[in-house]
Amino acid sequence: MSMKKRFLAMMMAGAMALSMAACTTETNTPSGDGTAEDGGDGAYRIALIAQHQTNAFQIAIAEAAEAKAAELGVDLTVLSADQDAATQISQIEQCVSEGYDAILFEPVDPDGLVDAARNAADAGVVMINIVSACTDWENNGISAVSYGDNVTAGEVEMQHVADLLGGAGNIAILTGPSGDSGGLQRMEGYENILANYPDIVQVVAPADCQWDTAQAQATVESWLSAYDLDAIVCQNDGMAVGAGNAAGANSGIIITGVDGTPDGFEAIEDGRITGTVSQNGGEMAERALEAAVTLLDGGTLETTEIITDSTWIDASNVADYQ
C-alpha cells in the first residue's frame, strides 16, 4: 500500500481555526493494511477531540496519538474544542456523519457531552474518554476511559508538599477551570492529605487560572506582594511554571504541579519548580487507541477503566524522564 500524505493542523494558541464542515484537520499515514471495510484505504478512521491544544500536556497527547496511529495502521484526525462544549458536540456529530469508526475525546463538560456520546455510540461509533470521563460514562455509550487517577495524583502531590514543609506552613493553590472533573478530583486528593496536617494553612482562597501559565504567573506575582508563602500547589505543570516564573529560580518556595510535561521538567532542572506528578498523557492516548482498535476488531478489553500511574518527579530523578 502506498503511503498517503500526512497533514498537520493541530490547533495552537493564536492559530486555532476549526472547520465545522469537516472532521479532517489531521490525518496520520497508515503503516500497514487496516481491517475496516469503510475506510478508503482499508484503515480505521479515528478522531481524537481534545479539550484544547494550548499547553505541553495536550500537545504530548496529540503527538503520542499520532505515533501510535502510525504504528497501528489507522487514520487519525486530531481536533481541538478550544475549551467549548458546544464546539465539541458539533465535532462529535460531524465525525459521526462522516463515518468515523471511533472517537476518543476529552470532555470539556463531563455532564454536557453525555448525550452526544450516547448518540454517537448508538450510531455504531466506538466512544472512548481520555484524560477525564463523562458523568456516568458506563451507562452512556462510552466503551472505556483512559486516564490517570486524579485523586491519587492530588494525594501524591500534596503529601510531598507536606513532607517538604515538615508538616507546617503557609500554602496557596492554583486550580484548573471551575467544574473540571480532573481538577475537582485533584482538589479532593489535596483535601484528603491536608486533613492530616492542621498546621498547613491555606492563607488565600484557591485561584482558578484555567490551566494557563500566564494567568498563574500574574496571580502569583500579586500573591507574593501580599502573603508570606511557603508552598504553591498547582493542579498542572503549566500553572506551576507560571508560579515558578513569578517566584524566580531557587526562590525557597516549594512549587509543585501535575502532568509531567517537558516545560515542567525544564523548570525542575533550573530550580523554578520543585516537582511534578506525572500521569503520562501520551500513554493515555496510546492505550485508548489500542483499546479502540481492539473493539473495532471485535475483541474485548481486559478492563474498561485504563489507569496510568502517578509518579513523583523532582530534581533527583527528572533526568530519567527526558
pLDDT score of 9 = 36
Mean pLDDT computed over 9-30: 35
Q: Are residues 158 and 236 in the same domain?
A: yes
**What integer is the mean pLDDT of 233-253?**
98
pLDDT above 70 as % of the chain:
87
| pLDDT value of residue 41 | 64
pLDDT tens digits, 92-138: 999 999 999 999 999 999 899 999 999 999 999 999 999 989 999 99
Helix (H) or strand (E) holding 153: helix 150-165
pLDDT of 199 > 60? The answer is yes
Kindly report the CA angle at 146 between 185 and 157, in degrees rounded to 5? 35
Of 283, 281, 280, 278, residue with least CA distance to 268: 278
Instruction: Let me know whether 296 and 233 are in one domain.
Output: no
301 and 213 share a domain? no
**Residue 82 resides in a domain:** yes
* Residue 317 located in a structural domain: no
In DSSP notation, 189-229 reads HHHHHHTT-TTEEE-S--EE-TT-HHHHHHHHHHHHTT---
Q: Mean pLDDT check: name the lowest of 7-11, 69-73, 312-316.
A: 7-11
Same domain, 128 and 165: no
Cα distance between residue 93 and residue 317, in whole Å? 44
- pLDDT for residue 181: 83
Query: DSSP per residue over 32-79, as a string?
Result: S----SSSTTS--EEEEEES---SHHHHHHHHHHHHHHHHHT-EEEEE
Model confidence band, residue 13 (pLDDT cutoffs 50, 70, 90)? very low
The answer on 299 and 268 residing in a single domain is no
Q: SS in 3 state form for 179-198?
A: CCHHHHHHHHHHHHHHCCCC
pLDDT top residue among 53 and 207: 207
Residues 6+ apart with CB under 8 A from 15: none
Q: What is the mean pLDDT of residues 173-184?
A: 91
Comparing C-alpha atoms, which of 70, 53, 67 is closest to residue 17?
Answer: 53
Residues 162, 205, 208: CA angle, nearest 5 degrees: 100
Cα(316)–Cα(164) distance, rounded to whole angstroms? 14
How many residues would you count in the chain?
322
Based on the domain organization, do 269 and 285 belong to the same domain? no
Are residues 99 and 167 both part of a single domain?
A: no
Helix (H) or strand (E) holding 254: strand 254-259
Q: What domain range is 235 assigned to?
A: 150-278
pLDDT of residue 7: 32
Give the predicted TM-score (pTM) of the model: 0.73
> What is the structure's pLDDT at 21?
33
| Residue 301 burial class via C-beta count within 10 angstroms: exposed 0-12, middle 13-18, buried 19 and up | middle
User: 193 and 274: one domain?
Assistant: yes
User: Of 8 and 281, which is predicted with more confidence?
Assistant: 281
Within a domain: 113: yes
Cα–Cα distance measured from residue 48 to residue 66, given in angstroms and rounded to the nearest whole number: 10
Q: Strand locations in 91-141, DSSP E? A: 102-105, 126-130
Domain assignment present for 5: no
Residue 228 CB-density burial (10 A; 0-12 exposed, 13-18 middle, 19+ buried):
exposed
- Please check the confidence at residue 289 and state whether its pLDDT lies above 50: yes
User: Quick one: DSSP state of residue 276?
Assistant: E
Confidence at residue 25, expressed as pLDDT on a 0 to 100 scale = 35
